[in-house]
Amino acid sequence: MTYLASPNRYDTMQYRRCGNSGLKLPAISLGLWHNFGGVDTFEHYRDTLRTAFDHGVTHFDLANNYGPPPGSAEENFGALMKRDFKPYRDELIVSSKAGYTMWDGPYGDFGSKKYLVSSLDQSLKRMGLDYVDIFYHHRPDPETPLYETMSTLDLMVRQGKALYVGLSNYPAELAAQAIDMLRDLGTPCLIHQPRYSMFDRWVEGGLLDVLGEKGVGCIPYSPLAQGLLTNQYLNGVPDGSRASKAHGFLKTSHITETVLIKIKALNEIAQQRQQSLAQMALAWLLKDPRVTSVLIGASSAKQLSDSLACLNRLTFSAEELNAIEVILA
């Protein structure tokens, strides 16, 4: 059946300006790190992507190594672009990245010009696209000169293979250097994608300040701490959850008694706010004006819809924020 996007898709989503750029992103973006690979079910992730766009989620975030197996998320997304989303290409923000191991040998990892150029060419071929809207360097390279990596990002824009460029997983000081270098090259850094959640707050040690000062957007990934900040683990590890899958990053060993106590206490505050724990955790990130969008994963359309409901209540009282800090401390 031919997919026709909802005519009301822009009615409820909030769009936030990305740093000092002209680009706005949806407050909630969809990441394809998990649940869209070759090991996953086509109809499930197709339904999730359709539901996302039908609710104004215009940004789909990928990387060369997303799957598993690596590359399969981009291949699957490319198939859906062709079948469902091709008429809506100009309404979408599609991002990809390179920086982690993708193929054998010395040219399939990190941040050399050889690797980044080859990787983006492969990503475009897998997705059937002429360009990506955002291309990120996925992680710092301790051996390649920073100028080589940044000048390659600049090249990608000048070649028309990317409209904007970004960084991911860069610490504050290195991010500041890279942002300044890109500005001097004439291709400003649009956005930074760090890991950030209630349980993982390293970005508050300087990175958020750098991004705010330099007019760069921030789009946190793993905002629910791989699912810990949901109702899913209140009573242990259920079958089918991320922690129960052998190929996942969240392990059962991560779900300690201390973590469970915090989850349950946070859930009580969420209930008082008439939100799910996941909705509150997302709203907690979006309260910061330096955060442009929050990148969520979703294993089903139902889970996605639950997360989108966070937009119904983004404000916190001082008492709620203090109570949350006590729990997290």
pLDDT digits (tens, 9 = 90+) for 1-38: 899 999 999 999 999 999 999 999 999 999 999 999 99
pLDDT band at 232 (very low <50, low <70, confident <90, very high): confident
Q: Is residue 257 one of the residues assigned to a domain?
A: no
pLDDT band at residue 186 using 50, 70 and 90 as cut-offs: very high
What percentage of the chain has pLDDT greater than the value 70?
A: 94
Q: What is the 3-state secondary structure (H, E, C) of 118-161?
A: HHHHHHHHHHCCCCEEEEEECCCCCCCCHHHHHHHHHHHHHCCC
Question: Could you tell me if residue 284 is inside a domain?
Answer: yes
The DSSP string of 70-121 is TTHHHHHHHHHIIIIIGGGGGG-EEEEEE-S--SSSTTSSTT-HHHHHHHHH
The number of domains in the chain is 1
Tell me, rounded to whole angstroms, the distance of Cα 123 from its chain centroid.
17
Structure tokens at 322: 């203090």
Q: Give Cβ neighbours of residue 183 (< 8 Å, ≥ 6 apart).
A: 189
Q: Residue 233 — very low, low, confident or very high, per pLDDT cuts 50/70/90?
A: confident
Tell me what the mean pLDDT of segment 195-199 comes to: 98
pLDDT of residue 71: 98
Position 255 scores a pLDDT of 80
With respect to residue 19, please indicate whether it lies within any of the assigned structural domains: yes
- In sequence order, the β-bridge partners of residue 17 are 24
Residue 131 in domain: yes
Mean pLDDT for the chain overall:
95
309: CB partners within 8 A, 6+ apart:
275, 276, 279
CB atoms near residue 47 (< 10 Å): 15
- CA torsion through residues 109, 29, 85, 154, sign: negative
Contact indicator for 188, 182 with CB cutoff of 8 Å: yes
Note down the domain range covering 161.
15-227+278-314
Instruction: Determine if residue 189 is left, alpha or beta; phi over 0 gives left, psi from -120 to 50 gives alpha, anything else beta.
Output: beta
pLDDT reported for residue 248 = 54
Please indicate, yes or no, if residue 325 is contained in any of the structural domains: no
For residue 243, tell me if it sits in a domain: no
Cβ atoms of residues 48 and 300 within 8 Å = yes
What pLDDT score does 244 carry?
A: 45
In a domain, 269, yes or no: no
- Asked if the model's pLDDT at residue 238 lies above 80, the reply is no
157 in a domain, yes or no?
Answer: yes
Question: CATH code at 44?
Answer: 3.20.20.100
Which comes out higher in pLDDT, residue 197 or 231?
197
Which region among 30-39, 224-233, 287-296 has the lowest average model confidence (pLDDT)?
Answer: 224-233
Please tell me what DSSP assigns to residue 294. E
Q: What is the pLDDT of residue 250?
A: 56
